[in-house]
Structure 1
């Protein structure tokens, strides 16, 4: 079997680094389903080295999670430091029969490239690499530094990827002035939307405690579903807020209520409620937790469905790592990208904080960060695909953005 790095290097040697279509096709053909590297980082390493970047490939691990390969590449010394961040890992493609072409073949059908990761987000990586190659070919290296900060863990648990890669870079003395994340941000057309922030995310499990018994003798039992219903009502009855200048209203969604009880004539001993909140800058994580604790306590003590009984017992488990809300204020970063988009596609993009979370939530602790990439209509779907015209358009936007951002810092 051939060495994957050598194979990737050989493939990169035949690529034109200014051609985003060729770069994306090569990346899609690397089956980098998280957490497998699949040859994608090795290919990107070879491409960037051919452009003069110094490349490191740190691997991070933690008990209970698979080790993850990452990539940090930098060119230039001193001056302003612009970072492009993203990920080469992809979600599983699902049944091959659901695809019009092999999800790792990068087939081109009617002007679109089909493949897992085409828009989320190997397309963004290919476009930025090609944009830098074009800029450097036409102008020479910018007066400053450009880096690629690429993980293989964004679609996974996000434990051994961007968080640790940022810590690793900071420990080496790397300092960043601005970052653009190449996630797909446009709803329908290229150039519609730049993400300047993200809502926070907080997840919780509420285990409501009861007493098992026979449904014919409810006085001998304590049905936790009665309390769970009241808790769910307390969580949902009152809106968390009405939105802010930069963000839509926060919202809470109950995603599951489970007892694990297969019997219709047995009152279960416990019931679990799972919910997630996407919240705006009205809240901090701790402030939101306190509000939710107050609501849960109110529901547990409600007597409507449990007359004459004391407040129900329960335990809270705050699941996963919460994400704080953030917004990047207008400045050279947003102005440069907005002007580049308008120059290339003729429309002025909206500045938005909609959507889910991304690795930008980690990067915002190190430098201002925004997100801009392809149209995201097919991400994570069967037949994920990108229009070749959009891939070229994004490359042109990124190239114009690089020129404008560095010009703003001279």
Structure 2
């Protein structure tokens, strides 16, 4: 079905109208642009208890409704988006306009589409005349696309301080590849950036015997970093190190450089934690007879959700998708980091499932209405199976 560019909200499904409303909010990190208040109001109408935590311009929504004894389940997501200008876009990136059944706009796929589908699924579940059990949480932040220092990490601390232990968490990140539900994430690689600062001794290039060339030492270190083997890697989750910059200050062609800085980023398997990476790379630098210091930046821990013998949420999501699509999804830990790392632990199974990710952060980011309806149905079925009597 084709929809006109300018449309009436009544001409599209409810989930699409909600997504349009969210896209029109220019919620570039950390500004939520009213989206947290909008979601809080909608959830309050469904008898959720609402709390909003604010920190350094970030708003975090923690909403919950207790139906009775049973598992504690949460939807997790974010309403903030990366910036967008109008250059190259078919429509205004904050319009939510529809062309041929496709909604365009910043955040359409990452991840306001999932938030909209979660909201309509939640409404259908709460209004269903069935027996319900357990506690249902909504955990939404406006600080995922940035440094993530005032977002989900604070939500996780809030839950911990109140003794709330999630049994399962469904994160709405866009995970699908060719069609909705074909891939879900049951973990993520960790990430850490760093800088090696190599200190040598400057001098005239004609007399290298009186110098220590920091750039030469840096080259030796880069070679070792590029050839590292990662013995703790597991199938489907490979560690990689990329040198992202080499800097020599005050470059002139007759001066041996006294300093050289190596910038790098490591994406590491769930077989490692950030302290393992720091220790490993520090030991590599120590094998070189030189003055080398290291500074670490932005560690993001890896996480992994395996199968459980009983009440396995990962298996439940797999089965739901199989029933919806006729085939099981692929499991993956690839891609960048996500807020799932803040909620994953030995007691909480975290699964990421969302729409296609082929246009996220790009010009003309979009999601098909048919895909919205598909992910809405998956979210709803997960709810009915995990907290309902189905």
Shift of 1:320: 1.9
Equivalent residue, structure 2, for 1:344:
324
Cα 1:275/1:385, change in 2 over 3 Å: same
Match of 1:36 in 2: 31
Match of 1:85 in 2: 76
Secondary structure of the 1:208 match is strand
Give runs of aligned pairs for residues 344-383 of structure 1, distance below 5 A.
344-365=324-345, 367-383=348-364
Following superposition, the deviation at residue 243 of structure 1 comes to 3.5
Structure-to-structure mapping, 1:107-146, within 5 angstroms: 107-139=97-129, 142-146=132-136
Structure 1 unaligned spans of 5+ = 1-13, 61-65, 301-310
Judge conservation of contact 2:189–2:269 (CA < 8 Å) in 1. Answer: yes
Post-superposition CA distance 1:109-130 (Å, at most 9, x none): 1211001110111111110111
Does the C-alpha gap of structure 1 residues 281 and 38 become closer, same or farther in structure 2, counting only changes over 3 Å? closer
Cα shift at 1:325: 3.9
TM-score, normalised by the number of residues in structure 1: 0.86
| Structure 1 equivalent of residue 20 of structure 2 | 25
1:190, 1:394 within 8 Å by CA — same for their partners in 2?
Answer: yes
Contact 2:131 2:388 in 1 (8 A): no
> Structure 1 263/327 Cα, relative in aligned 2: closer, same or farther at 3 Å?
farther
Which of 230, 241, 248 aligns to 1:259? It is 248
Check conservation: 1:72, 1:149, Cα contact below 8 A: yes
Separation in 2 of the partners of 1:282 and 1:54? 38
Question: In structure 1, what is the Cα distance between the partners aligned to 2:154 and 2:226?
Answer: 36
**Aligned partners of 2:125 and 2:116: how far apart in 1?**
14
Q: Does 1:203 align with 2:184?
A: no
Cα shift readout 1:288-323 (whole Å, capped 9, x = no counterpart): 33222222222x2xxxxxxxxxx2211011212341
TM-score with structure 2 setting the length: 0.91
Decide whether aligned partners of structure 1 residues 43 and 407 sit closer, same or farther in structure 2, where only a CA change above 3 A counts: closer
* Alpha-carbon offset, residue 77 of structure 1: 4.3
SS in 1 for 2:149: coil
- Cα distance in 1 between the residues matched to 2:333 and 2:201: 45
| Distance of 2:298 and 2:312 partners within structure 1 | 34
Q: In structure 1, what is the Cα distance between the partners aligned to 2:306 and 2:157?
A: 21
* SS of corresponding position for 2:109: coil
Distance in 1, matches of 2:200 and 2:10, equals 64
Give yes or no for the alignment of 1:250 onto 2:228.
no
Change (3 A) 1:242 1:282: closer
- Cα gap change, 1:192 to 1:229, in 2 (>3 Å): same
Deviation string 1:93-123 (CA, Å, 9 cap, x unpaired) is 1x31221111110010121100111011111
CA distance in 2, matches of 1:162, 1:396: 26
**3-state SS in 2 of match to 1:121:** helix
- Once the two structures are superposed, what CA deviation does each residue of 1:150-194 show, in whole Å capped at 9, x if it has no partner? 011111111111111111133234332211000001122111111
Structure 1 residues 335-387: Cα deviation after superposition (integer angstroms, max 9, x where no partner):
22112212222221012222221011111036221110110000111111001
Partner of 1:52: 47
Secondary structure at the counterpart of residue 96 of structure 1 = coil
Structure 2 runs not aligned, ≥5 long: 1-8
Q: CA deviation at 1:406?
A: 2.4
CA contact (8 A) 2:251 2:257 kept: no
Distance 2:320 2:73 in 1: 16
Kept in 1, the 8 Å contact 2:237–2:270? The answer is no
SS of 1:32's equivalent in the other structure is coil
Kindly report structure 1 stretches of 4+ aligned residues shifted beyond 4 Å.
none
- For the 8 Å contact 1:111–1:387, the answer to whether it is kept is yes
Name the counterpart of 1:324.
302
Say whether the 8 Å CA contact 2:68–2:132 is kept in structure 1: no
Equivalent pairs counted in the alignment come to 378
Check the 8 A contact 1:198/1:327 in 2, yes or no.
no
DSSP-derived class of the 1:139 partner:
coil
C-alpha distance after superposition, 1:223-248 (max 9, x if no partner): 20100000011112242238424x33
